[in-house]
Structure 1
Amino acid sequence: MSVAHRRRISALVVSRFARRTMARAGDGPAALSRLWPGRADRLTIAPHDLRTADATRAAEIYAGRFVFAGKIVTCHSRSVFDLEPPSEDWEAALLGFGWLRHLRAADTAITRANARSLVEDWISNPARRRPACRRADVMSRRVISLLSQAPLVLGEADGKFYRRYLRALARDIRLLRFGLHDAPDGVSRLQVVIALCYASLCLANQARTIRSATRKLSEELRRQILPDGGHVSRNPGALIELLIDLLPLRQTFAARNIAPPPALLNAIDRMMPMLRFFRHGDGSFALFNGMSSTPSDLLATLLAYDDTRGIPMASMPHTGFQRIDAGATILIVDAGLPPPPNLSEEAHAGCLSFELSSGLNRIVTNCGMSSTGRDTWRVFARSTAAHSTLVCHQTSSCQFVEQSAMKRLLQGAPIVSGPAHVESLRETIDGGERLTASHDGYLARFGLIHRRVLTMAHDGSRLEGEDMLEPAPGGRIKGSQIRYALRFHLHPSVKATRLDDAHGVMLVLPNREVWTFEATQDRVELEDSVFLAGNDGPRRTVQIVIHQNAREVSRVRWGFVRSATSAAATNARRQARREPELPL
């Protein structure tokens, strides 16, 4: 391990201990009472929940079947809070109480009574002391859910239950308040601040905490939402997670006749265009830095609040992404630095990777992150090999914390080394758009810089690429055999056939549109791959791969070309072009 790696890990450890010390300094009854001034004796308003509710799920919950994160648990007359959770994601969903919205959607006497019974069970259950119950992200989700679904739970409740409900809610709010410093940086910490802001607005006698919560919210939004509207973690999914809470929060301020803080309004205005930036033609988000399957219902809800409805911007310089729209063809490229170490627990090593789509059909993707069984796939999904880019010597362009003990201490596996310089130049040329980008993620280990040139035709019919591995000016290649691979992961809906000349692959899209991948100077292989971001879980797919040695072949030229004819005609034309003419 290099000195730089050790310094980064030491800095992360020191920061983690400092956060934990500050959080523990606020523990205890006396501190809790100081941190929640005022009497929380009644609710004044219930915020709106923008998440889609399914009334049919209410019947499942009433029958004792709880389906979360791809896992099903049946209670069989036992308390659901007494059962062993099948996964951490399932437990987090249960203890976050977001499922109350499904009971509210049914809106019957039975579902209202069921909601009260389940909440009462949780209030009196020892499961409240589980570690997962006190996780910052779980508690913040539970506070927001209990506030927004209060009309369902408290509508027909007696005074005794009302007081117990408020006491349980107030305790979670106090724990969130003194645990704010211990919350993982990034989305989790911002969600804690959002939950505290909701609590100060929705509970009575909280005038002083409204000012404090609003100030903290403004500080976090200015720090985490970049000037171009992206989140500092560089995960497109963070935009959806945050906006689904920030938009109702803006409404809650208005309902209390309190002006929303300018930082909140500005953050929403900047984030909304980013939703369109990351969308492909089919509505799915590009798969960068932990993005999973696109929640289409939430996305449709959020886009209804987008007043601009304009064409996505071409460049997001602060977040580090580029987008080229050419006719019906869309190219989205990661051309930015990895996020800071303290915000990189879920970041991926996908520098210079890209995704390509045509109309409603996605062609080239990254593998993405699975929405279920994330721990099983996390190491692979974060690797460079899971992205459509160049992989040098089977190693990733970023290195992550690997020791299990260190992962537990740091609450994840942050990046400890990666590209320090990423350059990109975009220019309009005759007939198209050209993007030239490079990163030095392989410089320290192999003495090489990866440079990628992407040229898109104006009509979107052709994407030409060139990938190069070059030593830095005045430097030299380290090692005698530097193998590298160019990987292009294909969407599972694409039917790929390797051509007989071994220099190309014919791609047939679901709408029968035909594209051809060509690398006339290199041998092309089709290898197995996996698409992790499917709505129904991971799916098998294939990837186009070109293997080379950096000392022998330092650059590879390739292209994706859309054909104007059918697959059969395209294949026949290529066959005729290969056959030599017979002598007369």
Structure 2
Amino acid sequence: MASRSHADPAQAGLAAGRRGLFGRTTLAAPGLGRLRAWLALPRELALGRLCYVLKRPLFALPEGPWRWRGNPPATAALVPPDPWPGNAQRGLALLDDSFHFLGRSLTRPAPQWNPVGVDPAWLEVLHGFGWLRDLRAAGGDNARRKARALVADWIAVNAAWSPVAWHPVVTGNRLSHWFSQYEFYAASADVEFRQRLLAAAARQARHLAGVLPAGLSGADEVAAAKGLCMAGLCLPDGAAWLSRGLELLAAALDAQILSDGGQRERCPILLLSVLRDCIDLRAALLAAGREVPGDLGLRIEGMAAMLRLLQHGDGGLALFNGGNEGEDLQIGLVLQRAASGKGPLQSAPAGGFQRLQAGRSLVLVDCGRPPPPGYDRQAHAGTLSFEMSVGRDRLIVNCGAQRGAGDWRAAQRSTAAHATATLADTNSSELLAQGGFGGRRAAVTCRRDEDEGNLWLEASHDGYQPLFGVTHQRRLFLSANGEDLRGEDRFTGEAAPAKPCGFALRFHLHPEVQAMSAQDGRSVVLRLPKGGGWRLRSAGGALALESSVYLGQPGQIRRSQQIVLSGTIAASETVVKWALQRMESAR
């Protein structure tokens, strides 16, 4: 039966209007951009990716079936603990053959493991088997049998190598999820099923050990290494795979975890992924009675403190560099299991983020350089952007990102999709169509001061210097009571631009915030969901209230609004001042 796809008409309408929301975005041509991105990689990563691509035809060659020496085992050597909650509603949908990933639902996909017309990212989730946890949450024998049937079908259909199903990251995720859910779907199965399951897992572990590191970097490399470690712990005679996996994990963490606990990809949701993978592996090693690497606990503690820095009052994460809010329950559980006594960092110069917190107000600022080559595939050109929340209400936001969002990919990465300044509808760093940055990357300076509870932050970037000879300087002040946020954006150069250059300062609003332009034409009144009132005033630019879009919640595209302060840079220095203050009537 042909698969049926369900899409939200409202989301389709928003996608059609994305150009109007963010203006034009200029990206390097896909073919040229891919070559430039590869040439910019560190030598080891570039060679690793090239070798993996060249070996792919060999992976597709027929091979003999995997055989154990002696009798094949019928029981896993270890069932690792898995405390993470699933989604029972999605699990019940799976019982009816409805698969909902990344904002798209397919009912009875055909073919089951390679349905026509779906995004590769959707297929990666399908083949990764993370949804086994949703079936477990649904509960009951029907869910158990469904999980067992889908695993058995995958083993039967995907014996031959294919680019998505056998990609190292997808394979690592699948091994992790097969073993973490083993008690749910496999422990009570018949001997034949368990033998086929363990034989299939062993064959995948052998393949994974042979291809890694495969030019992977960032959270992807950690996920693949974790899968190999889990196979080594859970499969009989898997010690060699465990040793290889731990070696790869140590190298991956050394390369990407910074001195303040930040991660080189500079994306909060990817930091969460790496932290969770490390917590899972630590728990599995302890359950197996194995020694935990000495620095793994320190890495977990540092990442947990950094993640708390990037957490809003509602428990969700800030929207920087391709991330979304995440699920606050899961984030809280990850931080709880990190067992770190550290509170949130306030300043993370290595990671490139600052946290200004006073009263009920919280401001999170991106003060870092764009991620380096190899770690920038999904990064955004959002330098000096900020987000603000009051209590549990988000007020000023970046637009966020949807994985596998198709038409939104270019728009969501643009500078205009962030609460920062855009010059001449141009990104502050050059974005390549296939992901990553070109040769023009913003360099950033940052200084922070505190006095009697008042907070000052001064930062600048030179991303527009090569094109317009202009440096963007942003100064922020947050009062000790948290009720007064003031900003000053300066555009400076050694001389006036050769020709006038337009600028736009954007303040994207959360969809739950109600906005209304005041009669004076120089301010906007903002009403939070819980009734608090704020007013944004400005000087030095024309103020307008325009449409925007919010991509910060997984699988959802929502209409929102943005405040835009615009003008022209025609002198060696142009200054725009603004203030966001709590209204007296809301006190």
Query: Residue 457 of structure 2 corresponds to which residue in structure 1?
Result: 435
Q: Distance in 1 between matches of 2:542 and 2:139?
A: 62
Match of residue 572 from structure 1: none
8 Å contact from structure 1 (residues 367, 531) kept in 2:
yes
Mark the CA change 1:439 to 1:259 in structure 2 (over 3 Å): closer, same or farther.
Answer: same
Match of 2:295, SS state, is helix
Please give the alpha-carbon distance, in whole angstroms, between the structure 2 residues aligned to 1:219 and 1:323. Answer: 30
CA distance in 2, matches of 1:56, 1:539: 22
Using the size of structure 1 for normalisation, the TM-score is 0.87
Q: Is the 8 A contact 1:276 1:312 kept in 2?
A: yes
After superposition, what is the alpha-carbon deviation per residue over 1:43-89, rounded to whole angstroms, capped at 9, x for unaligned? 2102122431234544432322222222222229x763364363333
Q: Give the gaps of 5 or more residues in structure 1.
A: 408-412, 568-584
* Aligned position for 1:52: 85
1:2-17 pair list within 5 angstroms? 10-12=39-41
Shift of 1:441: 0.5
| Residue 201 (structure 1) aligned with residue 233 (structure 2) | yes
* One-letter code aligned to 1:162: R
Q: Distance between the aligned counterparts of 2:259 and 2:225, measured in 1?
A: 20
- Describe the SS at the equivalent of 1:400: coil
The answer to whether the 8 Å contact 1:445/1:478 transfers is no
Is 2:179 the partner of 1:157? no
Match among 495, 503, 506 for residue 522 of structure 2: 503
1:185-334 residue pairs with structure 2 within 5 A?
185-308=217-340, 311-334=343-366
Residue type of the alignment partner of 1:70: G
- For 2:540 and 2:396, how far apart are their aligned partners in 1? 21
In the TM superposition, what whole-angstrom CA distance separates every residue of 1:455-485 from its partner, at most 9, and x where no partner exists? 11111110111101111xxx43443111111
Give the secondary-structure state (helix, strand or coil) at the position aligned to 1:399. Answer: coil
Deviates more, 1:171-180 or 1:435-444: 171-180
Secondary structure, aligned partner of 2:260: coil
Are the counterparts in 2 of residues 51 and 244 from structure 1 also a CA contact under 8 Å? no
Equivalent positions of 1:356-367 (< 5 A) are 356-367=388-399
Q: Does 1:528 align with 2:539?
A: no
> Larger relative contact order (C-alpha < 8 A, sep ≥ 6)?
2
The 3-state SS of whatever aligns with 2:425 is: coil
Q: Confirm whether residue 483 of structure 1 aligns to residue 509 of structure 2.
A: no
Superposed counterparts of 1:352-391, under 5 Å: 352-371=384-403, 373-391=404-422
> What is the deviation of 1:491?
1.1
SS at match of 1:364: strand
Instruction: Report the count of equivalent residues.
Output: 551
**Aligned partners of 2:438 and 2:69: how far apart in 1?**
44
Equivalent residue letter for 1:88 = P
Q: 1:194 to 1:535 in 2, by over 3 A?
A: closer
RMSD: 3.0
Aligned residue for 2:476, secondary structure, equals strand
After superposition, the C-alpha distances for 1:287-331 in whole angstroms (9 at most, x for unaligned) are 100111322231121122254465422101110101111111101
Residue in structure 1 matched with residue 481 of structure 2 by the alignment: 459
Q: Hey, what does 1:19 align to over in structure 2?
A: 48
Give the letter for the 2:278 counterpart: L
Q: Give ranges in structure 2 of 5+ residues lacking alignment.
A: 1-27
CA displacement 1:419-471 (0-9 Å, x = unmatched): 45311111124672111101110111111111111011111110111101111
1:401 to 432, 435, 456: 432
Q: Is the 8 A contact 1:494 1:509 kept in 2?
A: yes
Deviations 1:15-51 (A, max 9, x none): 6662245435695699x99x99999845210212243
Aligned to 1:392: 423
| Paired position in structure 1 for 2:574 | 554
Map Cα deviations across residues 176-199 of structure 1 (whole Å, 9 max, x no partner): 222323253211112111111111
Q: Matched residues in 2 for 1:37 and 1:273: separation?
A: 45
Equivalent AA in structure 2 for residue 550 of structure 1: I
Structure 1's 36 and 439: CA in aligned 2 closer, same or farther, altered over 3 A? farther
Residues 143-152 or 38-47, more deviating: 38-47
Aligned to 1:570: none
Which residue is equivalent to 2:175? Answer: 143
Structure 1 pair 361/347, CA: closer, same or farther in 2 (3 Å)? same
Q: Does 1:177 align with 2:196?
A: no
Change (3 A) 1:172 1:459: same
Deviations 1:373-424 (A, max 9, x none): 422211111111111111111101111223xxxx3xxxxx211134453111
Structure 1 window deviating more from structure 2 (168-177 vs 102-111): it is 102-111
Q: 1:306 to 1:130 in 2, by over 3 A?
A: closer
TM-aligned CA deviation for residue 564 of structure 1: 2.2
Show the counterpart of 1:410: none
Aligned to 1:131: 163
For 1:8 and 1:126, how far apart are their aligned partners in 2? Answer: 32
> How far apart in 1 are the matches of 2:581 and 2:457?
18
Q: 1:74 aligns with which of 79, 82, 107?
A: 107
- Taking the aligned partners of 1:385 and 1:128, their CA distance within structure 2 comes to 44
Going from structure 1 to structure 2, the CA distance change for 1:138 and 1:542 (only over 3 Å counts) comes to same
Amino acid in the other structure paired with 1:386: A
Is the CA contact 1:38–1:206 (under 8 Å) kept in the aligned structure 2?
no
Q: Which residue of 2 aligns with 1:108?
A: 140
TM-score after normalising by structure 2: 0.87
Change in 2 beyond 3 A, CA 1:106/1:204? same
Task: Name the structure 1 match of 2:21.
Answer: none
Distance 1:20 1:238, change over 3 A: closer
Structure 2 CA distance for aligned equivalents of residues 92 and 177 of structure 1: 20
CA spacing shift, 1:533–1:341, aligned 2, 3 Å: same
C-alpha contact 1:5 1:417 (8 A) present in aligned 2: no
Cα displacement (A) at 1:521: 4.3
Cα deviations by residue, 1:195-214 (Å, 9 ceiling, x for unpaired): 11111111121333333322
* Offset, 1:225: 1.2
What is the DSSP-based 3-state SS (H/G/I as helix, E as strand, rest coil) of the residue aligned with 1:305?
A: helix
Pick the structure with greater CA Rg: 1
Of the structure 1 ranges 259-268 and 127-136, higher mean CA displacement relative to structure 2 is found in 127-136
- The answer as to whether partners of 2:136 and 2:144 remain within 8 angstroms in 1 is yes
Q: Describe the SS at the equivalent of 2:485.
A: strand
1:16 to 1:219, Cα distance in 2 relative to 1, 3 A: closer
Paired residue for 2:14?
none
Match of 1:350 among 382, 392, 417: 382
**Aligned mates of 2:415, 2:114 — CA distance in 1:** 41
User: Does the aligned pair in 2 maintain the 1:37–1:209 contact within 8 Å?
Assistant: no
Give the AA of the match of 1:54. N
Partner of 1:542: 561
Structure 1: how far apart are the matches of 2:98 and 2:187? Answer: 24
Take 2:497 and 2:37, find their aligned partners in 1: how far apart are those partners?
24
Cα 1:172–1:165 shift into 2, 3 Å:
same
CA distance in 2, matches of 1:127, 1:89: 21
- Name the CA shift for 1:432/1:418 in 2 (closer, same or farther; >3 Å): farther
